[in-house]
Amino acid sequence: MCLIVDANLCADVLKKSSKTTYKNLRNAIFSNQLTLIHGGKLTEEYARAGVLPIVSLLSQSGRAFRVNDALINAELAKIQGMCISNDHHVVALARADRRRARVLCTNDQALRSDFKNKALIDYPRGTIYSPTRHKASLANC
């Protein structure tokens, strides 16, 4: 199962010294139960947040996967003007790899709405990760 972690939480999720709120999710990623999906602008945001070295290590061990930027850009063109959030690149990433990218971890309410919007993400529908409901958040994926 694959996961997209928005830039607003990437440090909390990926850095071991961060908050314990996302400890279960971090353990699932580092124990190879989940694969982190990234690409395009999200990868640039990871670099600015200082987690790209961690993501690179995860990629080398097969726990992270980078989606081709051309696929993301093609999806961006299809959804232009449809998103209410300013994170349309995250929605495009999920659409570009819709076989795998089904779970989103974010605090951004507008992005959550976009991710749950059937017109934007369908077949399969997107799921929002909740740290308080770790097992339930990942159960249907």
Task: Please give the Cα distance from 91 to 58 (Å, whole number).
Answer: 22
DSSP per-residue letters across 76-129: HHHHTTT-SSS-HHHHHHHHHTTTTEEEEE---HHHHHHHH-TTTS-SSPPEE-
Q: What is the token pair recorded at 1? A: 């199962």
Q: What is the token pair recorded at 83? A: 């998103």
Q: Spell out the domain ranges in the chain.
A: 2-132
Q: Which fold has domain 2-132?
A: Rossmann fold (3.40.50)
- Per-residue model confidence (pLDDT) at position 32: 86
Q: What is the pTM for the complete model shown? A: 0.90
pLDDT by residue for the chain (141 residues), tens digit each? 789 999 999 999 998 765 678 888 898 899 988 899 999 999 999 999 999 999 999 999 999 999 999 999 999 999 999 999 999 999 999 999 877 778 899 999 999 999 999 999 887 788 898 887 767 666 655
